[in-house]
Chain A
Amino acid sequence: MRTIVKYVMLDLLKNRIVMGYTLLLLVLSFGMFSIDENSTKGVLSLMNIALIFVPLISIIFSTIYVYNSAEFIELLVAQPLKRKTLWLSIYSGLALSLAVAFLIGVGVPVLIYESSATGLILVVSGLFQTLIFTGIALLASVKTRDKAKGIGVSILTWFVFTLIYDAIVMLLLFQFSDYPLEKPMIALTMLNPVDLSRILILLKLDISAMMGYTGAVFNEFFGGQLGMLVSAIVLLLWTTVPVWLSVKQFQKKDL
């Protein structure tokens, strides 16, 4: 397994797109921190990068990578290797190299300009987005045989998590505004890793406003030990479940 992970990782780290991605993140992060002396604004912009841009790149790149290495995968399947090991190695290679890219691109500037709890949460959230969306990409690519369709499914998934889901939540919020919605809102947040990470960052960044209204409920939950534990578990579930499902699918798949 280790050799495959190593091979995939080395292959990816040499990949122009991953290098470009690292560089782009690095330039964006440094740029955003140096535009304004107030580093909060930089963190805000980086939050949008970590929660919108990073998932998009992770999901599309991983999908394309899996389709492009179809022949490589077929070759390896012919070897005396367990399919599970093979698939997990590919996931680990992909996720690790994208995570390294993110750590260099965003982690380092954050460490330099904003090495606080807010910065830490931001970096951790971004890492989770990378791992989660790589997993979802693998699930999407193993489910659909056609490359174009697979990429389409990936983009749609990203679209759902970053925009459509929130739009639906907003609709619900206004339809049921006469009811106490704080607790259902926490549950709804758990169902979307992007929202969950965003709220965790907001609780550090906009704490004054969050403490205002329902924020008190959010803060009580997410700010407390239990809430942090639950959020961590939910994020881990979001990381493992898609990968596990894709492994199941890959084991049965007729190549």
Chain B
Amino acid sequence: MRLISTTILLCCLCCVAQARTLTVGKGKMYSSVKKAVEAAVAGDTICIYPGVYKEQHIDVAKTIHLRGIGLPVLDGEKKYEILTIRANNVTVEGICFRYSGRSSYMDIAAVRIAESRNVVIRKNVFEITFFGIYSQHATACVIEGNRLSSDAKDEINSANGIHCWKSDSMLITGNTITGHRDGIYFEFVTNSHIKNNYSYQNIRYGLHFMFSNSDTYTANTFRNNGAGVAVMYSNHINMFKNTFADNWGSAAYGILLKDISDGTIEGNRFQNNSVGVMMEGSSRLKMQKNTYTQNGWAMKIQANCMDNAIVQNNFTGNSFDIATNGELVLSKFEKNYWDKYEGYDLNRNGIGDVPYRPVSLYAMITERNPSSMMLYRSFISSLIDKMEKIMPALTPVELKDDSPMMKPLKL
């Protein structure tokens, strides 16, 4: 019995060993990638040697390993989709995808993952592509260490860097994305992890979430994107240790949370944004240990948000700490450090003895009449603010931190 099983095992090993390596390039086995893919059987490796391959619609429908050696270029001549993956366990690495087609009615991608599992797209370069990597109905794929750049000018004629639609358990890590419409776009994507990516100078959002539940994103940096990051209509989203920086504009937010519930936002850094966090219709979010520095508005919390806990955050150097649009406050502020706090601590327990009201009257005024920003920090505006601090009339009375910290928290 043991002998038989050993033989079977050996046979299997032999089969694996039989997996061939096909080479593509000048003077190699094949001159075109397409022919090599056609000739390959499941388990083969195709090595592509340096050169420019002007090929279109390479259709990978079997489990193969596409490996670029010395960064060969697959050129779509601005007309075609370059690579379509329709099989499980395909790996694509070390290839430069250039000039994918563009279209206003079709989603043309440089690399498309269609209805597949366990596909790995690793260490590739995407230059001037429409959609960079497009995954539809994919499961457990890894998109790792790719560099994507494009030349998007406006939202209409551009597309997303990494686009995932109806996918599950994706891992997107260590990618650099710039010049697209949205850096990373998620729609109906679940149980996925976005980690260590750097998304900057995209036309619209650095990261865009729609209807995607139970996803986590960690240690990403989103910088100088048209409108920052948007997370909409999703629940159970976790965000840890990300950096949101330099998103400037009248509708630019470090992060926009719209109809989000049950998430954790922890250890993130919001710096130099017009609005650090914009919350609309969001509930049951835990926002803790975040750092807000040098933002125009650290947070804007609309009155339709409820049961959020904003605990142990540092607010320093923001023009306005919190702004809101109504009287109703259903969220909780506790143990935050506010650099504008002017209270005292008689019992020396590190917690201020009088509550801090983070909404200044002038924040309310500019919310209603943006032009009044012109008088910000003038004598009269500080006079009004001081009066309001003594006798709150217009600012929501309930929006306060009862236990403000005296010293910045070490985060």
Binding site for B on A (CB under 8 A): 36, 38, 40-41, 44, 47-48, 52, 162-163, 166-167, 169-170, 173-174, 177, 181-182, 185, 188-189, 195, 198-199, 202, 206-216, 218
A208 to B381, CA, bound (A): 19
A255 to B295, CA, bound (A): 57
Residue from A162, A163, A207, A216 within 8 A of B250 (CB atoms):
A216
Interface residues in B300-322 by Cβ distance below 8 A to A read 316-317, 319-320
Given A40-B317, A212-B274, does the pair A182, B371 have CB atoms closer than 8 Å?
Answer: yes
Give the residues in chain A near B249, CB-CB below 8 Å.
211-212, 216
* Nearest CB of chain A from residue B273's CB, rounded to whole Å: 6
Given A38-B339, A52-B379, does the pair A213, B373 have CB atoms closer than 8 Å?
Answer: yes
Give the residues in chain A near B317, CB-CB below 8 Å.
38, 40-41
Residue from B274, B316, B368, B382 within 8 A of A211 (CB atoms):
B274
A44 to B294, CA, bound (A): 13
The residue on A at minimum CB distance from B296 is A209
Interface residue? B375 (CB, 8 A): yes
Interface residue? B378 (CB, 8 A): yes
Q: CB-defined interface of B367-383 with A at 8 Å, one 1/0 digit per residue?
A: 01111111111111110
- The answer to whether A195 touches B378, judged by C-beta atoms less than 8 angstroms apart, is yes
Residue from A162, A166, A214 within 8 A of B371 (CB atoms):
A214
CB<8 Å pairs between A and B, sample of 21: A38-B339, A40-B317, A41-B339, A166-B379, A170-B372, A170-B375, A174-B372, A182-B371, A198-B377, A198-B378, A199-B374, A209-B297, A209-B376, A211-B248, A212-B296, A212-B370, A213-B250, A214-B373, A215-B296, A215-B373, A216-B250
Interface residue? B272 (CB, 8 A): yes
Given A38-B339, A163-B379, A166-B379, does the pair A212, B297 have CB atoms closer than 8 Å?
Answer: yes
- The answer to whether A181 touches B296, judged by C-beta atoms less than 8 angstroms apart, is no
- The answer to whether A206 touches B316, judged by C-beta atoms less than 8 angstroms apart, is no
Give the residues in chain B near A211, CB-CB below 8 Å.
248-250, 252, 274, 296
- The answer to whether A213 touches B377, judged by C-beta atoms less than 8 angstroms apart, is no
Known: A40-B294, A163-B379, A177-B371. 12 other contacts (CB 8 A): A166-B380, A170-B375, A185-B371, A195-B378, A198-B377, A206-B319, A207-B272, A210-B296, A211-B252, A213-B373, A214-B374, A215-B373
Give the residues in chain B near A170, CB-CB below 8 Å.
372, 375, 380
The residue on A at minimum CB distance from B272 is A208
Binding site for A on B (CB under 8 A): 248-250, 252, 272-275, 294-297, 316-317, 319-320, 339, 366, 368-382
Give the residues in chain B near A181, CB-CB below 8 Å.
371
Give the residues in chain A near B250, CB-CB below 8 Å.
211-213, 215-216
Residue from B248, B252, B368, B374 within 8 A of A169 (CB atoms):
B374
Give the residues in chain A near B248, CB-CB below 8 Å.
207-208, 211
* Nearest CB of chain A from residue B243's CB, rounded to whole Å: 15
Residue from B295, B371, B377, B382 within 8 A of A202 (CB atoms):
B377
- The answer to whether B369 touches A173, judged by C-beta atoms less than 8 angstroms apart, is yes
- The answer to whether B369 touches A174, judged by C-beta atoms less than 8 angstroms apart, is yes
Give the residues in chain A near B252, CB-CB below 8 Å.
211
The residue on A at minimum CB distance from B372 is A173
Given A38-B339, A211-B249, A213-B366, does the pair A163, B373 have CB atoms closer than 8 Å?
Answer: no
- The answer to whether A212 touches B275, judged by C-beta atoms less than 8 angstroms apart, is yes
A129 to B372, CA, bound (A): 23
Give the residues in chain B near A188, CB-CB below 8 Å.
374
Give the residues in chain B near A48, CB-CB below 8 Å.
379, 382
The residue on B at minimum CB distance from A185 is B374
- The answer to whether B371 touches A44, judged by C-beta atoms less than 8 angstroms apart, is no
* Nearest CB of chain B from residue A175's CB, rounded to whole Å: 11
A48 to B319, CA, bound (A): 16
A182 to B272, CA, bound (A): 23
- The answer to whether B373 touches A212, judged by C-beta atoms less than 8 angstroms apart, is yes
A166 to B314, CA, bound (A): 33
A190 to B395, CA, bound (A): 32
Give the residues in chain A near B274, CB-CB below 8 Å.
208-209, 211-212
Give the residues in chain B near A213, CB-CB below 8 Å.
250, 366, 370-371, 373
- The answer to whether A218 touches B374, judged by C-beta atoms less than 8 angstroms apart, is yes
Give the residues in chain A near B339, CB-CB below 8 Å.
36, 38, 41
Give the residues in chain B near A177, CB-CB below 8 Å.
368-369, 371
Given A38-B316, A209-B320, A210-B373, does the pair A167, B296 have CB atoms closer than 8 Å?
Answer: no
Pick from A48, A163, A210, A218 the residue with the most CB of B within 10 Å: A210
The residue on B at minimum CB distance from A189 is B374
A195 to B379, CA, bound (A): 10
- The answer to whether B377 touches A206, judged by C-beta atoms less than 8 angstroms apart, is yes
A238 to B294, CA, bound (A): 33
A38 to B316, CA, bound (A): 9
The residue on B at minimum CB distance from A159 is B379
- The answer to whether A166 touches B378, judged by C-beta atoms less than 8 angstroms apart, is yes
Give the residues in chain B near A202, CB-CB below 8 Å.
376-377
The residue on A at minimum CB distance from B319 is A209
A69 to B374, CA, bound (A): 40
Give the residues in chain B near A44, CB-CB below 8 Å.
377
A162 to B382, CA, bound (A): 12
- The answer to whether A208 touches B379, judged by C-beta atoms less than 8 angstroms apart, is no
Give the residues in chain B near A182, CB-CB below 8 Å.
371
Give the residues in chain B near A173, CB-CB below 8 Å.
369, 371-372, 374-375
Give the residues in chain A near B273, CB-CB below 8 Å.
208
Give the residues in chain A near B372, CB-CB below 8 Å.
170, 173-174
* Nearest CB of chain A from residue B318's CB, rounded to whole Å: 8
Pick from A162, A182, A212, A214 the residue with the most CB of B within 10 Å: A212
A115 to B313, CA, bound (A): 30
Give the residues in chain A near B378, CB-CB below 8 Å.
166, 195, 198
Give the residues in chain A near B296, CB-CB below 8 Å.
206, 208-212, 215
The residue on B at minimum CB distance from A40 is B317
* Nearest CB of chain A from residue B164's CB, rounded to whole Å: 31
